């Protein structure tokens, strides 16, 4: 029951933060959890508007901040200028392979790269806190077209 677990994570956060109950927020959470894509703010807004007509843009932003703070998701500033939000729960650390034609996101994991990064950092006397690796290219599907 992954979805259940994610809802619990947010419920815990909400009670920790003394958030009050809100239908809007529930709707946004449901939509976010249902989508496995890396949604942009606007995509989420469009979907939320269907479920909760009259919802404002600011509410999406505010709610996403909460989701991030709760550990449910993470902001991902993409090269195309749009910020996307990706699920964190149940997703081990990964990097991204992104198709510049269709926008497909592939989450990739490669322990050897992580190891090499640590080596580089050590060689230069750094202690690594985080890294960002994005591979941009064209996927098989888009090449056929």
Window 102 to 131, contacts with a second copy (CB under 8 A) = 106, 108, 110, 112-113, 116-117, 120-121, 124-131
Which x/- pattern, by CB under 8 A, does the window 61-90 give for a second copy?
Answer: ----------------x-x-----------
Contact call for residue 140 and a second copy (CB under 8 A): yes
Distance CA 145, CA 30 (A): 35
Which x/- pattern, by CB under 7 A, does the window 68-107 give for DNA?
Answer: -------------xxx------------------------
In our burial notation (b when 16+ CB lie closer than 10 A, e otherwise), range 95-117 reads: bbbbbeeebbbeeeeeeeeeeee
């Amino acid at each position: 029951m992954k979805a259940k677990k994610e809802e619990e994570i947010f419920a815990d956060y909400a009670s920790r933060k003394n958030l009050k109950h809100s239908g809007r927020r529930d709707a946004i959470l449901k939509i976010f959890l249902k989508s496995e894509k890396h949604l942009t703010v606007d995509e989420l807004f469009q979907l939320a508007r269907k479920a909760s007509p009259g919802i404002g843009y600011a509410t999406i932003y505010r709610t996403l901040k909460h989701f991030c703070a709760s550990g449910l998701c993470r902001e991902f500033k993409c090269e195309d200028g749009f910020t996307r939000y990706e699920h964190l729960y149940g997703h081990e650390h990964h990097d991204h392979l992104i198709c510049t034609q269709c926008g497909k996101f592939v989450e990739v994991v490669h322990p050897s790269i992580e190891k090499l990064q640590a080596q580089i950092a050590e060689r230069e006397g750094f202690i690594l806190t985080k890294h960002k690796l994005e591979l941009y290219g064209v996927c098989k599907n888009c090449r056929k077209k």
